[in-house]
Structure 1
Amino acid sequence: MTTAGDTAIDRAGAAPFVSRGGTAAELVAAVDWSAHPLGPQAGWPPALAAMLRFILTSPESMYIVWGPQRTFFFNDAYAPLLGPRVAQAMGAGFRDLWADAWPAIDTMVARALAGEGSEFEDFHIPMARYGEAEDTWWSFSFSPIYDDAGAVAGMLCLTNEVTARILAQRAEQEAEARNRQILDSATDFAIVSTDPRGRITQWNEGATRTLGWEKAEMIGEPLDRIFTPEDIAAGRPAHEMTMALETGAGRDERWHVRRNGERFWADGQVTVLRDEAGAANGFVKVLRDRTDKRLVEEELRALNATLEDHVAREVDARIRTEEALRQSQKVEAIGQLTGGVAHDFNNLLTVIKGSVDLLRRPDLTEEKRRRYTDAISDTADRAVKLTSQLLAFARRQALKPVVFDAGENVLALRDMLHSLTGSQIEVTVEPGGDPCLVDADPSQFDTALVNMAVNARDAMAGRGTIRITLGAVSGMPAVRSHPAVAGEFVAVAIRDTGCGIPADRIDKIFEPFFTTKDVGKGTGLGLSQVFGFAKQSGGDVMVESVEGEGSTFTIYLPRAAARAAEAEPAAVAGVPAKSACVLVVEDNPDVGAFAVQALRELGHHTVLAADGAAALAELEKDAGRFDIVFSDVVMPGMTGIELGESVRQLYPGLPVILTSGYSSVLAKHGSYGFELLHKPYSIDQLSAVLQRGAARLQREPD
C-alpha cells in the first residue's frame, strides 16, 4: 500500500522501500539504490561515503543532505526525532520529507548549500510530525559538505530538540510572574528578595510603604541600607543569611531604618530560597512595622498566618514548575525502565539465536528441526510484543570504551575534516611517532574532534589554518580549579588562526548552551560534549586563546598500556576434551530448556534448577557429579551472583559461569570475578565459555 509519504518520496527521486523498523544502517541497506539518482553505493563519491560512515557510527543526533536531489540520510540518534515518517525518510528528498517545516528553514538550508555554515539556538519550527500542528524548538547547526573537487555537494546538520526545556522555562516564567503578583498584593508587609550576595532583586509595594524607598531606587542595592549603622558594623545582615542557610529561616525583632532616617521597630523573617537541585539561590526578608507595642501579639499571629500561606503558595507554584521541568529528566527514568525490558528481551533473543545455530548443525532429525523452528516462531512473537514496548521508550546511550590508537583515528578523520571545513581552510595533522593508545569510546572521540574542528572553522570565518597535533605527555597541567595530575596522558591539540575568545568568557565556554557567537549562530553544545567526553574518560580539556590570534583546545586522555591494547586470544570453538556435567540454573522455562538442549547437543550432561535455592539443593545431594555451574544472574530470590558466592565458599573447586541479558549490579560492579556470558549467546560462544571453565578446572589444584 502506497502512503502519501511514499508518493512524496517517489517525486523526490528515491526508490520506495518496505517500511519497517531497524537501525539507520539497515534502512540504508534496504533502499534500492540502483533505481535512485545516486546509483548503487559502490559508485558513490568518497566524500559522501565518508560522511555517511561518520554519522552512522556517531552517538550524536545528525543527518546529511547530498546532491542535486537533496537526498536525506540520518543516524540512529536522529531517528526518534522523525516521528512516524522515519519509515520513509532514508533516501527521501529533503524538502518533500520536511515540507511542513520547510518555510522555517529554507533560507538557512540555502545558505549552507551555498557554502556558509550557521548555528541556531532555541529556534522555533512549526511542524506536524504526528498529524497535528505543533510548536517545536531546536538547537542545531548547518555545515556545508564539499566533494573531492572542493565544490559544495551537500550539508551536515547536528541537531537536538529542546522543546521540553523551552516549555519548562515558559512555565517557570509564568510562576515567577505569579510570585511577583503575590508580593505586590501583600501591601501590609515589606517583602524584599535578594540574590545570594544580598543584592536586592525584588521590592514590593509594602516595602515602599514601610521603608519609603521606591522599587527603582533599591533594585541592585545591598540589603544593608535598611539596617541600622550598629547592626551593619556588627555584621547583622550577613549573620541573618547565615542563620537562614543553616536553619531554613530566621526570625527576630529589631530596629530598622526608613529612607528619611527614622528608626522603627519591626518583626522580621529571613527565608532561604533554593533551586530544584537544593542549592541556595537567594533570600526573602519579610518585615512588619511593630512600633506600636500594643499590637505586637496580634500582629505577630497575623504575620505567621500570612507567611505560612505565602510559603504554601510558593511551594505550590514550584511544584507546578517542577512538573514541567521534569519532562527533561525523563530520559534517565526511561533508561532505568528499558533496562528491565532489555533483560526479558535478551532472554528471547537467546532462544532465537541458539535455535538458529542448532538448525545449522548437520544430520538434524526432522523432529528436532521442527522443534527448533517452532521455538523461533513462538519466541519471535513474544519479541514483537516486547519491541512494541521498547519503541515507546527513549534509549540511554553509555560510553563504550575500548583501547585504540588515537593517532590512527585522527588520520582517518583527516579527509572528512577537509570536507567539513572547506577548501579555504588548510588542515594539517601531525601525529606522534609512537602509538598513542587510549582507553575511551572511539565514536565519542571522533565526535569531539569534529566539534572542535567545526568550532575552529567558525572562529576563522571560513579561511585560515587548523593544525592538529598528537603525542604522549607526562602529567596533565592544572585545569581551571583542578590541580595538576601526574601520570601518562595522550594530548590531542587543535590550533586555529581565528578570532580568539575574550578573556572574560573563556571560563564559561564549556558550559552547556553557552556560546561566544552572535545570537542565532551558536548552540553552545559542541564544546560541552568535548568537556563531558574528556571528563568521563578520566581526562580533561583545556583552552588557550589570544584575541585576534587564535585558540588552542587540548584534550588530555589517560594513556593505556600496550598490554591493555592486546585482545585476549579467542577461545577455540567446540567442546571440552571430555564431556562435562553442567548444573543449569535458569528461572525462565524457555531459556532453561534451550540451554539444556544446547548443552546436550554439545555432548554434555545437564541438570536443570529453576532458582538458586534449587541449585544449592542439587549440590548438597552430590556436588561431585557436577563439573560446572551455569547460572542466570537475574532471578527471583537468590541472584546468580549470590549463588556463585555461595558455591565459591561451599565448593571452592567448582567453576561458576554466569549469564545475563541485563543486570544493574553487573553494570555497576562487574562480574565479581566470575566468567560471564552475555545473552543472547550462540552455541559456539556457549561451547567456548565451557572450554574456559573446564580449562580453569584443570589448572586449579584439587
Structure 2
Amino acid sequence: MLENVIKTTRANEEQRFRLLIDAVVDYAIYMTDPTGIITSWNSGARRFKGYEEAEILGQHFSRFYTDQDRADGLPQRALDTAVREGRFEGEGWRVRKDGTLFWSHVVIDPIIDSQSGELLGFAKITRDLTDRKMAEETLKQSEQQFRLLVQSVTDYAIYMLDPDGQVTNWNQGAQRIKGYLPTEAIGRHFSMFYTPEDRDAGEPQRALSIAASVGRFEKKGWRVRKDGTRFMAHVVIDAIRSDTGTLLGFAKITRDITDATQAQQALEQTREALFQSQKLQAVGQLTGGIAHDFNNLLTVILGNLEIVRKRMPCDPKLAQLLDNATQGAMRGVSLTQRMLAFARRQKLTSESVELSALVRGLSGLLQSSMGPSIHIQADFAEALSPVWADVNQLELAILNLATNARDAMPHGGRIVIAADERLGSEAGPDKPMAPGRYICLSITDEGEGMDEQTLTSAVDPFFTTKGVGKGTGLGLSMVHGLAEQLGGRLTLKSQKGIGTIAELWLPVAESSAPDKAITQEPASQPVHELLVLVVDDDSLVLTSTRLLIEDLGHRVLCAPSGPQALELYEHNQDIDLVITDMAMPQMDGAQLAKLLRDKQPTLPIILATGYAERLEGFATQLPRLTKPFKQIDLVQIIGQTMK
C-alpha cells in the first residue's frame, strides 16, 4: 500500500516537473542520452530552435552547431568536458531550423545514476543571447571606431591618465605635438610635459585636483616637447568615474595654439600701432590747428609792437617794456614751432648733412650744456653716408635728446652718441619702415629709464615727467614730428633702472633725393608805391598786416574772404600784388590764387601760412610768407616777388 502511494507521488512530482520545464519559454531545456541523442524537448527549445518535438527527438544535438564547429569536433568535446569536469559551460553560434544563427549560452550537466554511477545522459540548457551579443558587437565596433577616430586625430593630443597621473594611452596627435612615441610616454607621469617652473609650483597636481573635485580643468600655458622646445597649449582635463562614482582616471586633450597665440599677439600689436598712429595723427591735427591760430595771434602782436616802437617817443622805460613784450612773443614763436614740428607741418629746408661733422660741431655746445658730471662719448661708423635733413632742426633734435638723457641722470653718467647705416627692414615687424637705406643716430644714457606706461606716452605733446615749470613736454614730440616729416622714425627703447636708447632713423641722401630748396637773397624794399590786396579771414591779422604794409608806403585793400577778394579785384584792375592767407573757409588761398591767375596770369601773389601745408600744381611755385612775420619779412618777400 505504502509503496503504491510512493510511486504515485513520484509520478505526480515527475509530471509536475515536466509541466514546469515545458512551461519555460526563455530557455531551451532538453535531455540527451549518453551519446548525445535528444530524448526530451521543451517549449523554450521549440521557440529558440524552431523544431517541433516530433522533428527533433531521436536526433543528435550536434545538428544545432555550425558546420565548422562540427568539423572541429566541438559537440563531442562539450560532452567529454561535462563528464570529466561535471559541467560544461560556454557561448557560441548555433543554427536554427531555418538556417539562421543565434548566439547562445550553453550549460551541459551529466546525469549520473546515484547508485551505480552509470552515465544516464545529459541535461542541456540553452539561452538565446543574440540581442546581448549584437549589442556587445555594436559597442565593440563603436569602441573600435572611436579608438580609430582618436588615433587618427593629429591636431589634438588625446590621451588617458590613471588616477595618479600616469599616461595609459597615446594618440598620433600627442606624438606629433609632443614628439614622444607611445612607448616613450605610456607609463610615465604627465608632469613631464610641464615646464620646470610649473612643476616646481605644483601645477600638474593642482590640475588633477581641480579636475577630480569639479569634474573639469581648463587652462592655457606653456608646455615642453621632447626636444626641449616650448609651445603654448590649451589644455582640458576631464575626470572619468565609474557608475558608483569611483575615480578611474582622466581624459586629457591638449591643443597647440602657438601659431594662433602669436597671430593674436601680432594682431594686437598691429592694432596698438594703428591706435598710436591714429592718436598721434589726431593730436597732430589738433596741435597744428592750435599752432596756426597762435601764429595768427603772434603775427598781430609782433606787428603792432613794431608799429608802436616806430611811433612812440624815445623813452627808455617804454622801450624796455616793448622789448620784454617782443621777447615774450618770440618765446611763443618757439613754442608754436615745436608744436608744428610734432604735427609735421613745420617748414623744412632739407640738404645733405654729414652727421659725424654735425655732431663734432655740436660737441662743445653739448658738453657745456650737459655739465661736468656728464661724459659724452661719440661712436660713429666709418664712411657714414650723409642724410637729408634740415640742419637747424636736426641740431635742435639732437640737443633735445641729449638734454633728456642728461635729465635722466641727475647724479651724472655717460651719454653715448652713435650712428650706423641700416636697412628699413631692420626696424622690426612691429614698427615697419619704407624700404631703403637709413642712418640710425642713437643717443644712449645710463639713467633712470621708463616703465611701459611712460614709454607709451613719451612722444605725446605736453607729456612730461619733469616737475612743474621744468619742461614743456614738446621735446620728444618735436623730434618725432621732425623724423616723420623727413621720412624717418624716432624709436625709444627703455628699461626701468637701466637706461634709455633714443634712435633717430633718417633716410640716406641718395642721388635721386629732392633738390635743396633754393633760397633767394633778400631784396630791398621797392621804391615805387604799390596797391596791395591783403586777404585773411582773421580780422586782427588783416588789420595788423594792413598797418605794416601802409607803414612801408603802400596802399592797401582788405578782404576777409576769397569771394570778396575776387569782387574787389574786379573793381580794381590796377592791383599790383596780392597777399592771401592760405587756410580760409569756403575758398583757401591756393584756390583764390588759381582764380586770380586765370584772370591775370602775371599777377604777383604771396601765400601767407601758419604752417607747411601740402600744395599742388602751380601753387607750389608761389612765394610763401611764414607766420608770424615781422615788417622786415614783408619787405624781403615783397622785394623778391616784385623783381
With the shorter chain as reference, the TM-score category is 0.3 to 0.5
Pair member with larger Rg: 2
